[in-house]
């Protein structure tokens, strides 16, 4: 089972999918595409791994255990 965690102003939203369920994969993939369009940044990691083990990704992979989304940070 895979999980997406969306960290934003509303809190920490969790979305899951099952690797053997095409419908949940399609929903997660559509959400991934929408969040990319919103310029959020996805990182993949093994479930429970430390934050520094996360790697930035650019495409949805249903075999990833956890995808964490963050908003871009503006600085200056």
pLDDT at 10: 82
The per-residue pLDDT for range 19-66, each reduced to its tens digit, is 999 999 999 999 999 999 999 999 999 878 888 889 999 999 999 999
Task: Please report, for the chain, the start and end positions of each structural domain, with discontinuous segments joined by +.
Answer: 2-70
Beta strands per DSSP E along the chain: 2-8, 11-17, 41-45, 55-56, 66-70
- Going by C-alpha positions, the residue among 30, 20, 24 that lies closest to residue 3 is 24
pLDDT at 76: 58
Give this prediction's pTM. 0.86
pLDDT at 75: 65
């Amino acid at each position: 089972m895979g999980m997406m965690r969306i960290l934003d102003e509303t809190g920490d939203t969790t979305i899951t999918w099952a690797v053997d369920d095409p419908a949940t994969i399609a929903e997660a993939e559509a959400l991934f595409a929408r969040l990319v369009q919103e310029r959020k940044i996805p990182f993949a990691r093994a479930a429970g791994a430390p934050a520094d083990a996360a790697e930035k990704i650019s495409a949805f992979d249903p075999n990833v255990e956890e995808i964490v989304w963050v908003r871009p940070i503006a600085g200056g």
